[in-house]
Each structure stands twice: as C-alpha cells, then as structure tokens.
Amino acid sequence: RFNPKFAYAKKSLVDKTIGDPVCALVSRHITRGLGNKIGGRIKLSPAAMEATHDIDFVLWCMEPAKPIRVYSQSAYGAMKDITGLEDAQWTMITLDNGT
C-alpha cells in the first residue's frame, strides 16, 4: 500500500482508468536462502508468510468487495527436507461481487 507503484494501481482502479476488474493474479518468487530464513523463524511456510502481503494488496484494490470463499492448496518440494514446510501455495479468493 505504501509503495508508489501499488498506490498508482489502486488509483487506476478507483478512477476507472483500467476499468472494472474481473480477476487479479499475484505471483511471488523467492530464493531458497530467503525461504530458509523465513522457515527458520516461524512455522508458517514462506509461501504463506509472503501471501499475507499479496492478499492484503489485492483485497485493498478490490474494495469495497469482500471475500466470501477461500480455497488454498500447497505443495512440498525442496524445502520439505530443510524446514519441513511447503514450497508453493496457490489461493483462490471469490469476492461478493463475483470477482
């Protein structure tokens, strides 16, 4: 929210510069080093920790719509043997306006 690029995206949605959204996609990729650092601090996967920021941004952009359904799934990979946590996660959030 405090990054000027994110604020510009929100402004463009509010003033309809880019029209009405029908969906949003956020993809985040982090290094194993950062994954180890995050996984060593808390028992949430790096994917879950980082998704918090992405979900907050998308819900802020989509205001006043509210989430009505959430589905999330994760997968193990290289990090399982190191931290015991998932490597990847995808989440689908359905909003009350159909987005």
Q: Is the pLDDT of residue 93 over 90?
A: yes
Q: In the chain, what are the domain boundaries?
A: 4-95
Q: What distances in angstroms separate CA 79 from CA 34, 58, 83, 91, one per listed residue?
A: 11, 27, 6, 19
| Each residue's pLDDT tens digit, 16-69 | 999 999 999 998 887 878 777 777 677 777 777 778 889 999 999 999 999 999
Residue 92 host element (H or E): strand 88-95
Q: Is the dihedral of CA 78, 80, 85, 90 positive or negative?
A: positive
Cis ω before 64 (30° cut-off from 0): yes
Q: Is the pLDDT of residue 89 over 90?
A: no
Tokens representing 86 are 């998932």
Q: Cβ neighbours of residue 59 under 8 Å, at least 6 residues apart?
A: 67, 93
pLDDT at 81: 85
